[in-house]
Amino acid sequence: MLLRTVVFTAVNVGLTMVLGTLGALLLVRVSTWVRLLLTTGLVLVWAMPPVVAVQVWSWMTNSENGVLNYILTDVLHFGNYFQHNWYETTFSQYSMVTSLVVWGAIPFVTITVYAALSQVPHELVEAAQIDGARAWRIFKDVTLPVLMPVLLILTSLSIIWDFGAFTQPYLLIGPGQQTTSNYLMSTYLYFEGFGKTDFGIGAAISILMLVIVAALSVVYVRRMLRVGEEA
């Protein structure tokens, strides 16, 4: 369960950060009207309440006539997903939860990284271009160092959020479908604490979670503290 939580967190954070950063890099390259379109979309997604997003997800992925199966089968021709049940295996269940969590988390990362990208000095990029550097080299040696502090904070925030994710796994997989075979720490402590009213075990898991998160958030807190003292 601890391992599952760690893997779940790692996959979610990894996908969120990579896709979010790529999104920000894309925002820089498109025309103004496409950028406006994308930012509006991002804010719209960002604003969706998690419980609402869960309901939309269970409607889109339901096996009877969910639109996901339809798109995979009849629009993209990926194979036959007619009445495919996405909630049959633990892996498949968490793929759905991951898609939901990452979808909801990308806007924050993209918009923040995009803001940070505007801090990259133009002169440096141009100088590198004149020196004949390729796009990848420019990104690695000029852009990335400027982005690093932001990426660091975003990553630690995402780790903290995804590690404690509860609403999405609890509701999307369904309270009735959760067993010892597919618990995350957050859902496990909930069911021990309130399902079986065993506050002892629940509290023990809580403490374990808090310790892990406390260790993870040291980076973020220290950074914020430094900012706080400078100002």
Partner 1 sequence: MSRRRARGRLGWNALGIVIFVVLVFPVFWMLSTSLKDNDQISSFTPTWFPRHPTLQHFADAIHRQYFWTDVGNSAIVVLATVAIALVLSFLAAIALAKYGFSGRKLFIVLVIGIQMLPQAGLIIPLYIVLAGRHQVNTLTGVILVYLTFALPFCVWTLRGFVLGIPKELEEAAMVDGSTRLGAFVRILLPLVAPGLVATAVFAFITSWNEFIFANTLLHSGSKQTITVWLSFLYGGNRFVDWGQIMAASTLIAIPVVIFFLLVQRRISFGLTTGAVKG
214 binds partner 1 (CB under 8 A): yes
171 binds partner 1 (CB under 8 A): yes
Nearer to partner 1, 70 or 139 (CB): 70
Nearer to partner 1, 51 or 127 (CB): 51
- Considering only residues 109 to 168 of the shown chain, the ones binding partner 1 according to CB under 8 A are 111-112, 115-116, 119, 149-150, 153-154, 157, 160-161, 163-167
Q: How big is the site for partner 1, counted in residues (CB under 8 A)? A: 82
Identify how many contiguous H helices and E strands the chain contains and give both numbers.
11, 0
Start-end of H helices in the chain: 2-29, 32-47, 50-60, 67-70, 90-117, 122-130, 135-138, 144-163, 167-173, 185-190, 199-230
CB-CB contact of 53 with 143 (8 Å): no
- Three-state helix/strand/coil letters over 172-210: HHCHHHCCCCCCCHHHHHHHHHHHCCCHHHHHHHHHHHH
Task: Tell me the HSE value of 43 on the side-chain side, using a 13 A CA sphere.
Answer: 5
Nearer to partner 1, 94 or 161 (CB): 161
Q: Rounded CA gap, 99 and 94, in Å?
A: 8
Closest distance between partner 1 and the C-beta of residue 36, in Å? 10
Residues 18-47, one symbol each (x = binds partner 1 by CB under 8 A, - = not), give -----x--xx-xxx--xx-xx--xxxxxxx
183 binds partner 1 (CB under 8 A): no
Closest distance between partner 1 and the C-beta of residue 140, in Å? 20
CB-CB contact of 166 with 186 (8 Å): yes
- Considering only residues 48 to 107 of the shown chain, the ones binding partner 1 according to CB under 8 A are 48-57, 59-60, 62, 65, 67, 70, 74, 103, 106
Nearer to partner 1, 127 or 221 (CB): 221
Closest distance between partner 1 and the C-beta of residue 175, in Å? 9
DSSP 84: -
